[in-house]
Chain A
């Protein structure tokens, strides 16, 4: 277990170093960083001074090292677009994205898993076939189209729900939350539905496929042959084995939710990190792009590593702490 943990962490560090390298290259080679630091008509000498002060005259790997050291403390410099510290910009917008992703993740789990189980247990029923077809439509439906349809129906035609922004938020320390006001909660409904829909259908299809696979296994056949009740077979035996791999995929999906939040935030003008990132891509604002990339990768890596560890602790076959096969067969 310890060896696995260490191996996994080393892997994560390598991934982070690679991501940091990409971010660094963006900084170093996209546009001249000196341009953003000096007045427009600076002399060559002034420019050289700035270059020296920024350490741009030193070997690349030294610069890379310094970049990592600064990135580790959250220092990504100033945004080229509005000259504010990138870390402040991201911190302001982090809570909006985090709350949206959290609600969408919970929704997709709470709805997706039961639907997956249902369609796996009654694969030939009319409802299951309909759901299966709808899920294919759900996967093919571009998320922004879903969002536009939601706005068209619930905001423009029915006028029930807001179509943009977070509503009223309450600040708790540096965190601003929309969970505590009625308008904040109302504003969450459409964006979180839009964000979760794709993941939900994916989760449903995954649970269905996985569970149908498990239901075909020998141990389910043997459980039936022992006369166990349908309930015990479906929920005690099949579901447990189904959910173990599903956990892994859901971890990856959380990453997907963060990425897809970019689209949701654009459609609903949600003041999160994704909207910030899109602006940065549009304006070629390298510090914001680089910082977003590093932050999101860090979140991914943390999620993936924890999921792997969780997996290893849930699946008894991978639990290495208890001595392994004991006693021979005689």
Chain B
């Protein structure tokens, strides 16, 4: 059984100059214990998808259509209070910048304890024990002492560990990690990813790992979803997608990553840039930049279709012959 199932999720932002569609007909599944990587350029809709799943789209944005099911239960139409109980307890979230994710005027312990007590029926002392235990699990030295200190007394990497403890302390089944290491030193990034991976194995939680770092995906994720201009254009196992990308955009993305041992004179790059939300071309959004564009690409939007190697939304792989 799938843990999370997202179908045709569409998020719109009404604005003065018309409605902007931030993500359109996004379909995803996450199996229990699985790490799903999500890649794409900034603005492709990765973070918006994450925000939609935990029900934290900033107004006036709203889910225009589609369904989100967690353990078979629809959560996109829950009321405020019910959705609040899902957040933290069943879906946890980790954001990009550990320096700004923690409240500067509350101690780390206070923030952990309130989160634990919000979701679990524990006494204050039991919650405190659990808080210290979680600090230990995320690798904070001397947690009995550090529990009563303020975030500014931690280094960046340590703070991100605290953030992970906060996201996991009520043992949610799904973690949405939105660029969890982007703001950190390169030397710390690998440790944080390894920690996240280890803790999720221990608790059996699944992870949606949003990143633009293909290296992280390759090391950590089981499957990967590639997003472009608000849509998922290719999904598959990491091995399939990284080694044999099929969508021309994914192929371009992979080719633009430098590989150790090879020394290309020029790193290939995809010409042009991702279209803005209000200027998406008809048909396939990638068609103006696509090296393999066909007539149909400017007319008909390709849908995500499954086959033996995963799902891809590209007319090159459509069952019917392209006309």
Size category of the A interface is: 20 to 34
Query: Can you name the residue of chain A whose Cβ is closest to the Cβ of B105?
Result: A240
For residue B241, give the distance in angstroms from its CB to the closest CB of chain A: 28
Q: Is the CB of B88 within 8 A of A327?
A: no
Q: Is the CB of A218 within 8 A of B95?
A: yes
Interface membership of A279, Cβ < 8 A:
no
Q: Give the chain A neighbours of B212 by CB distance below 8 A.
A: none
Query: Considering the chains assembled together, what is the distance between the CA atoms of A227 and B84 in angstroms?
Result: 5
Q: Give the chain B neighbours of A228 by CB distance below 8 A.
A: 84, 88, 114-115, 118
Please provide the chain A residues from 210 to 243 with a CB less than 8 Å away from any CB of chain B in the complex: 217-219, 221-230, 232, 236-237, 240-241
Q: Mark B141-167, 1 if CB is under 8 A from A, else 0.
A: 110001001101111111000010011
Interface membership of A111, Cβ < 8 A:
no
Q: Give the chain B neighbours of A236 by CB distance below 8 A.
A: 106, 114
Interface membership of A173, Cβ < 8 A:
no
Query: Can you name the residue of chain B whose Cβ is closest to the Cβ of A241?
Result: B105
Q: Is the CB of A225 within 8 A of B56?
A: yes
Q: Is the CB of B85 within 8 A of A219?
A: no
Please provide the chain B residues from 146 to 200 with a CB less than 8 Å away from any CB of chain A in the complex: 146, 149-150, 152-158, 163, 166-167, 170, 185, 188, 191
Q: Is the CB of B87 within 8 A of A244?
A: no
Interface membership of B27, Cβ < 8 A:
no
Q: Is the CB of B86 within 8 A of A329?
A: no
Q: Is the CB of A221 within 8 A of B95?
A: yes
Interface membership of B97, Cβ < 8 A:
yes
Assuming the contacts A232-B114, A325-B152, asked whether A225 and B100 have C-beta atoms less than 8 A apart, the reply is no
Q: Is the CB of B104 within 8 A of A317?
A: yes
Interface membership of A39, Cβ < 8 A:
no
Q: Give the chain A neighbours of B128 by CB distance below 8 A.
A: none
Q: Is the CB of B84 within 8 A of A327?
A: no
Which residue from B118, B141, B152, B153 sits with its C-beta under 8 Å from A227? B118
Q: Is the CB of B155 within 8 A of A327?
A: yes
Assuming the contacts A222-B93, A227-B119, asked whether A326 and B153 have C-beta atoms less than 8 A apart, the reply is yes
Interface membership of A49, Cβ < 8 A:
no
Q: Is the CB of A227 within 8 A of B105?
A: no
Query: Considering the chains assembled together, what is the distance between the CA atoms of A329 and B192 in angstroms?
Result: 11
Q: Is the CB of A229 within 8 A of B105?
A: no
Query: Can you name the residue of chain A whose Cβ is closest to the Cβ of B102?
Result: A219
For residue B118, give the distance in angstroms from its CB to the closest CB of chain A: 6
Q: Give the chain A neighbours of B2 by CB distance below 8 A.
A: none
Query: Considering the chains assembled together, what is the distance between the CA atoms of A305 and B101 in angstroms?
Result: 32
Q: Give the chain B neighbours of A317 by CB distance below 8 A.
A: 104, 150, 152
Q: Is the CB of A327 within 8 A of B158?
A: yes
Q: Give the chain B neighbours of A232 by CB distance below 8 A.
A: 114, 118
Query: Considering the chains assembled together, what is the distance between the CA atoms of A236 and B156 in angstroms?
Result: 24
Please provide the chain A residues from 294 to 330 with a CB less than 8 Å away from any CB of chain B in the complex: 315-317, 322, 324-330
For residue A225, give the distance in angstroms from its CB to the closest CB of chain B: 4
For residue B132, give the distance in angstroms from its CB to the closest CB of chain A: 15
Assuming the contacts A325-B152, A329-B157, A330-B157, asked whether A226 and B115 have C-beta atoms less than 8 A apart, the reply is yes
Query: Can you name the residue of chain B whose Cβ is closest to the Cβ of A315?
Result: B105
Q: Is the CB of B92 within 8 A of A226?
A: yes
Please provide the chain A residues from 133 to 181 with a CB less than 8 Å away from any CB of chain B in the complex: none
For residue B177, give the distance in angstroms from its CB to the closest CB of chain A: 11
Query: Can you name the residue of chain A whose Cβ is closest to the Cβ of B89?
Result: A227
Q: Is the CB of A316 within 8 A of B105?
A: yes
Query: Considering the chains assembled together, what is the distance between the CA atoms of A306 and B163 in angstroms?
Result: 35
Q: Is the CB of A229 within 8 A of B118?
A: yes
For residue A197, give the distance in angstroms from its CB to the closest CB of chain B: 31
For residue B82, give the distance in angstroms from its CB to the closest CB of chain A: 11
Interface membership of B54, Cβ < 8 A:
yes
Assuming the contacts A226-B118, A316-B105, asked whether A219 and B152 have C-beta atoms less than 8 A apart, the reply is no
Other than the known A236-B106, A329-B157, what 17 A-B pairs have Cβ atoms closer than 8 Å? Answer: A217-B100, A218-B101, A223-B103, A225-B54, A225-B56, A225-B88, A226-B87, A226-B93, A227-B88, A227-B115, A228-B84, A237-B106, A316-B104, A325-B154, A327-B142, A327-B158, A330-B157
* Residues of B in contact with A (beta carbons under 8 Å apart): 54, 56, 84-89, 92-93, 95, 97, 100-106, 114-115, 118-119, 141-142, 146, 149-150, 152-158, 163, 166-167, 170, 185, 188, 191
- Ordered by A's residue number, 6 sampled pairs between the chains whose C-beta atoms are within 8 Å are A226-B87, A226-B92, A227-B119, A228-B88, A244-B105, A317-B150
